[in-house]
Amino acid sequence: MKALAKLKAEPGIWQTEVDKPDVGPNDVLIKIKKTAICGTDVHIYKWDEWAQNTIPHGMVVGHEYVGIVESMGSEVRGFKVGDRVSGEGHITCGYCRNCRAGRVHLCRNTIGVGVNRPGSFAEYLVIPAFNAFKLPDNIPDNIAAIFDPFGNAVHTALSFDLVGEDVLITGAGPIGIMAAAVARHVGARHVVVTDVNPYRLDLALKMGASRAVDVSKQHLKDVMAELGMTEGFDVGLEMSGVPSAFSSMLDTMNHGGKIAMLGIPPSSMAIDWNKVIFKGLIIKGIYGREMFETWYKMASLIQSGLDLTPMITHEMPMERFAEGFDIMCSGQSGKVILNW
């Protein structure tokens, strides 16, 4: 079958032929319809230090997709051939303390689809049936194809009560923008998004941010004053991984504020701990999505009118993957979808 794989230890990704994956007794075989390019795929494409240390030679990449169940193992219950699915990309062990307690997103032995095992940039993908998510009919394919990063946004945004709160989102990447849309949809008051990329700040405004702040040109505190915010943000969602963005968040949080951190800093990051202590801040780390409460909420948010369509700025046949990666690397895009 056709696939996109990391065939060389250098920047790039290559189209190749690989064997159709074997289906174990607890697995489903998914015929991929659409995949989306994730920031993680861009790291693998660019072959940064993390990718060099993580990705085995020849790995089939990709983990954002929608497809159709084509066959399944003898032990699988709850799915049938023809079901339209997306899937949770974190494969968990099932035997650690958290897994056994049902806190599966906190598994300490998580394996990543398209990172540690073959991914979805392929005609077919095999995952445990446990990880497959059956899609309601009224979720369009393009939206289902970005459920994985949408899940990061939903998990982070719904970590704390947002109703009537002032929310700061640092980083208007695809995940930050979708988090802004969620915050608006569930009833936050001001949703302020920061970035240094005008294209993405513009998209954040289209998706429901009250204000989009280019921190290379404007002071966040001036914007807060314009909005009549005299105290500070109630909830912070860190979605850039940039240390200066996180420190501006610590500066502008109200006392008792709550921060959910999704962005991955490049290395260890120094902060002013006095801000955390004397403001009494609560900081929560976020990894992946809750299985499967986040998936349930994602479907419900779309069904209740949250429109992610403007997030999908580019769509093309998979053969044009090089162009798709170039667009993602340029920062002049929302999500880029490849049709298989």
Q: Is 286 annotated as a binding residue?
A: yes
Return the sign of the alpha-carbon dihedral for residues 137, 143, 147, 148.
positive
Judged by the rule CB under 6 A, the positions of this chain that interact with ligand NAD are 39, 152, 170-176, 194-197, 200, 215, 239-242, 244-245, 262-264, 286-288
106 near Zn ion, judged by CB under 5 A = no
Rounded Cα distance, 131 and 135, in Å: 13
Instruction: Please tell me the distance from the alpha carbon of residue 194 to that of residue 245, in angstroms, as a whole number.
Output: 8
- Residue 288 binding: pick among ligand NAD, Zn ion, none (C-beta 5-8 Å cut-off by kind): ligand NAD
Q: Which is nearer to ligand NAD, 142 or 194 (by Cβ)? A: 194
Q: How many angstroms separate the CA atoms of 86 and 119, rounded?
A: 13
- Structure tokens, 151: 């899940």
Contact 14, 8 (CB under 8 A): yes
Choice between 21 and 149, CB closer to ligand NAD: 149
Q: Does 99 contact Zn ion by CB under 5 A?
A: yes
In the chain, how many H helices and how many E strands? 12, 17
| The entry of ligand NAD, Zn ion, none that residue 203 binds, CB within 5 to 8 Å by partner kind | none
208 binds, among Zn ion, ligand NAD, none (CB under 5 to 8 A by kind): none
Scan for tokens 């399944």, then name that residue. 72
Q: Which does 232 bind (CB under 5 to 8 A by kind): ligand NAD, Zn ion, none?
A: none
Q: Which residue is nearest to Zn ion (CB)?
A: 107
Is 26 within 8 Å of 80 (Cβ atoms)?
no
**Which residues are marked as active site?**
40, 43
Distance CA 260, CA 281 (A): 11
Q: Would you say 329 is a known binding-site residue? A: no
Place of tokens 């053969």: 319
Residue 290 contacts which entry, ligand NAD, Zn ion, none (Cβ below 5-8 A, type-dependent): none
> Closer CB to ligand NAD, residue 84 or residue 297?
297
Q: What is the DSSP letter of 120?
A: S
Nearer to ligand NAD, 84 or 200 (CB): 200
For residue 38, say whether it is annotated as part of any ligand binding site: yes
100 belongs to an annotated ligand binding site:
no
Q: Which is nearer to Zn ion, 23 or 96 (CB)?
A: 96
3-class SS of residue 112: strand
Tell me if 93 contacts Zn ion by CB under 5 A: yes
Neighbours of 272 (CB within 10 A): 11
In the complex, which residues of this chain contact Zn ion (CB under 5 A)? 92-93, 96, 99, 107, 109
Residues making up the binding site for Zn(2+): 38, 63-64, 93, 96, 99, 107
